[in-house]
Structure 1
């Protein structure tokens, strides 16, 4: 379905009829990259709701847990992750002792679903986009930074695109979703509310982004949202070598939502990882394996370095939450080996705050 912009404006309300969200996300393969936004719960729920079907009966059987983990491929499973969602560390006891994890890293997409409707071409003027981006740059939105923060923007949602999610129900009362017909709904936000949603966007990331482990520790990677994986920067992946000497081209498969990947870190040193589909959006992480000392970061120019640009604004039609590129993440003070060892783990939020603050 193709819609065209309405040219009429009246009062304080700017009206635009956006193209379907699916069409927007198809651009440059974005349906594969971005369409999972907010879908983690729905996907996991579908496995539970399909009568007579369990996650191991849908073509993605996890199989039995091994006695040990492959030094390159670890162990991936589509079985429901006992540590998924809000589970506490007691969940580690569900794994066999030989592969029991000591740490968890979650794989996330974080983009407020309501923001999508306002990213289609023509919804916002370039002046509005520039003002919003400037207000969001430091992560703290001040209404005084916007010329008209209370200016309302209304979009018509395509058929079936309702905002009846738990997250949308918790938005501020000033946000309005109105039914205009059996097949048409509108969503209204102020410029200030759009800026606030953009500032809350932390996009694609590992949580934590930095982690300290001891040699022999197993790390559980939990797929909380779709289309994520874990691959080492390694010459055999066509990348800079950013793992300790002698370590192979570590890689998980794409891990299905609700599933997990286990990896045992044996060799001391610094390991840099990227998510193959989302490295262009800054989704990288660092693991420091040590008995207490601070190992040196080893970088060999064997291939492509981490990306210098985060292209996420291209998929938001110019709206920019000001998130670091892969290179900026790995060059941050928050993810120096010294800081990771001192802190034990470093959250993605800490990395983003440093970047937005210009520290």
Structure 2
């Protein structure tokens, strides 16, 4: 009598494999061997499920969001409710003034559960929450995860779903030191709902007001060293860029103001509240 082939040598259809399991009992190791020869069977509550090679549906991770290199190719399932653009703008005229980095709008009001698309018109930005896990004072609601996008190039996008009501202050990792910060109000917040961190920045004293780990003196020292190649006297360099505290402390980004009107505050409105801001930049 010829030897019977082992279970690992059998090529079984899904139906045949199910029948074998039902009538004869197959141990887990043998079953896994059988599945390893190309059977696309998945068992769930006794029935076959979708094949493993089916594409997984896109999801927005609570920590990492959803990123794509092509802002024009957002999955329909993740169609956003709002859009924020990340900009790099230059002074007009360009002499003796630095470029500015900003979010447009700089303030936004959304409902809990809304998806916000952050579209990158300039390269190498992030959207990162102020959170102790990132080394800063917590400026997002209690229980909100320390979320952040990866560094994304121009033309890409990052999506995030704001589930928990409250006040969210965020920054761009590479350009936070240059004042690239914004605020999102989630839900309908009353004055009693505004958290203490809205007007309680932890960081170094100004002017200009900065946040750790950088102080005014250390930044101006670095600026002096960076410009040492310039002919002539570069002593007394001053930090001319805006700072996150200056941006987020403006009346324009007061939570009540953000919630009024169409729920958006432009970067122009923010600049109007900062005396030392150069208003000759072309911006949106």
- Aligned-partner Cα distance in 2 for 1:223–1:111: 16
| Per-residue deviation, 1:241 | 0.5
Larger mean CA deviation between 254-263 and 106-115 belongs to 106-115
Q: What is the aligned counterpart of 1:352 among 239, 250, 271?
A: 271
Matched, 1:274 2:171: yes
Once the 2 structures are TM-superposed, how far is the Cα of residue 99 of structure 1 from its aligned partner?
A: 1.3
Cross-structure match for 2:130: 233
Who is 1:329 aligned against? 247
List aligned pairs for 1:263-302, cutoff 5 A.
263-291=160-188, 293=190, 295-299=193-197
Q: Which has the larger radius of gyration?
A: 2
Deviations 1:187-216 (A, max 9, x none): xxxxxxx47xx4xx6611111111100011
Partner of 2:64: 73
1:101 partnered with 2:80: yes
Following the alignment from structure 1 to structure 2, what is the Cα–Cα distance between the partners of residues 303 and 244? 16
What TM-score do the two structures reach when normalised by structure 2? 0.61
**Structure 1 unaligned spans of 5+:** 1-63, 83-93, 116-193
Contact 2:105 2:264 in 1 (8 A): yes
Distance 1:265 1:348, change over 3 A: same
User: How many angstroms does 1:324 deviate by?
Assistant: 3.0
1:222 to 100, 114, 119: 119
After superposition, the Cα gap between the structure-2 partners of 1:326 and 1:105, relative to the gap in structure 1 and judged at 3 Å, is same
SS of 1:270's equivalent in the other structure is strand
1:238 positional shift: 1.1
TM-score by length of 1: 0.49
Q: Distance in 1 between matches of 2:101 and 2:201?
A: 26
In 2, Cα distance between the equivalents of 1:287 and 1:108?
A: 17
How much is the aligned-residue C-alpha RMSD, in angstroms?
3.4
Q: Which residue of 2 aligns with 1:259?
A: 156
User: CA distance change for structure 1 residues 237 and 106 in 2, over 3 Å: closer, same or farther?
Assistant: same
TM-fit CA distance, 1:297: 2.8
Q: Deviations over 1:305-324 (max 9, x none)?
A: 86275969947888989653
Query: Residues of 2 paired with 1:111 and 1:309: CA distance?
Result: 24
Preserved contact between residue 201 and residue 245 of structure 2 (Cα < 8 Å): no
SS in 1 for 2:274: helix
Note if contact 1:210-1:346 (Cα within 8 Å) is conserved in structure 2.
Answer: yes
Identify the match of residue 342 of structure 1 among 260, 264, 267.
260
Task: Considering fraction of residues, name the structure with more helix.
Answer: 1
Q: Show the 5 A alignment for 1:120-131.
A: none
Return closer, same or farther for 1:66/1:278 CA change in 2, 3 Å cut-off.
farther
The change in CA–CA distance for 1:341 and 1:293 in structure 2 (over 3 A counts) is same
Aligned length: 201
Identify if the C-alpha distance between structure 1 residues 215 and 233 changes in structure 2 by more than 3 Å, giving closer, same or farther: same
